[in-house]
Amino acid sequence: MKNQTEDGNIKLFKFFTIFIGVSLMFLVLVLLLGGVVKISWEFQEFSTVVDYYSNLKGNEYLLCVLYLGIFPFYYSYIFKD
């Protein structure tokens, strides 16, 4: 009986992990598209090193959120029962 409860808890944890990851990915997509629309779909060169570094850090954060969203799918694929 205890094994069924543990399986249910694991499934619930997987569901919420995937839900949070997908929600964050959607949020990043909305923020990214909102930023691109704000600059009128025009990309330009950076004026200073600080601007360039800020852009790199922003891209790094987006990749981290993307990783956190995809990792639960990868983990569940690797450790199938």
Better pLDDT: 26 or 52:
26
- C-beta of residue 62 within 8 angstroms of C-beta of residue 28: yes
The tens digit of pLDDT for each residue in 28-44 reads 888 888 877 777 766 66
pLDDT above 70 (res 3): no
> In angstroms, rounded to a whole number, what is the distance separating the alpha carbons of residues 61 and 67?
10
Parse the chain into domains and list their residue ranges.
13-78
Identify the pLDDT of residue 42.
67
Q: What is the CA 18 to chain-centroid distance, rounded?
A: 10
Identify the pLDDT of residue 4.
60
